[in-house]
Structure 1
Amino acid sequence: MTTPGFRPTHVVPGYGMPAWDAPDPARPTVPLDPLLPVQLTERRGDWAYVLCANGWAAWVDGRHLVAVPQDPPAPDSPLTRAADPRPLLARADETLARYRAAVEELARGDLDGEAFHGRTRGLRTGVVVDGEHMWLYDAQHGRWVYADGTRLNTYATDEAPRASADSPGHAPTQVVTPDGP
């Protein structure tokens, strides 16, 4: 049952995710179900405090939350540099072109296996396109981002969550009802 007045801002990734009573990896609680709608209420570093559709509240690694699409920007509003997917697409193109060139040299016999390994070491890219939806791997920041054609949202990251240095503790996970916790 959904909490009255609940408006999701994100969903839990399709594989589910761990949750914590506090932004402290040593204090895990029950995991959140895959695709559970949640409402982001607070951020502390990589940690996110969410209210779940089922009434629970918990801390999670906010970088793994999948953003629920919001109203699109007005047609005449420009993309911001940070949200524009084109620079990341250009980096993916460059990485793929470098890999393709190394494969061609290997196929022609201009490179041996060891030279191919050296030439491709450190190259990382990833692109999944499904109609208007796209996921890109941002190797520079170690994260997967989701793009809807107008903006990027972090989908998953390589790093563990970390709290900001000035983060005080937060109330433990609790059930929230219309009458309060």
Structure 2
Amino acid sequence: MQEPGGEELITQTIVWESDAGELETRTRVITRAEQQAQFRAREAQRQSASLGPSAAQIPSLIIDCNNQNALWLFDGGFLGGNQLCLYRNPVDSIAVADLGRILRPGLPIQSWAGAVRSLWAGMDSGNLATCDLVPARCYTAPAPYQGFDAWEKLEYIYTTPGYPTSPNTAWLDIY
């Protein structure tokens, strides 16, 4: 997508779970330059975190993609394409997001389940897994699974061709 002046536009979807357990979603469009500024800010946050605890590491209540505890997921490789930002409530030690319940922009309408191709973690570690959340069961090989550490950047996530439920669940934890 491009704006009339020719600059590339990026769709960011921000998702968090309300106190009532409902997913709340906000979508906005930013320029590539704005996203690059967020990338620089995230790198500064990562470097700050490596220096030890500080006031800058206190989880923020601001819900946007530039928050240090957000997990950034992309539907393109190398941190490209549409962007999804997920949060763990600071009072919870773990968070789970069913990516099948979160829609990606564009036509035809599709969910984020199986669509993640790259990610950049914030201050939480976690994983992308293939799960059936009704019986609360996640699967191992050949089902795709991708773990990540805090602040880790994965520029390409391989998915199993033909596997119908490529990672459909994102897990975040503080460990």
**TM bracket, shorter-chain basis:** under 0.3
TM-score, reference length from structure 1: 0.22
TM-score, reference length from structure 2: 0.23
More contact order relative to length (CA 8 Å, sep ≥ 6): 1
Name whichever structure is richer in strand by fraction: 2
Name whichever structure is richer in helix by fraction: 1
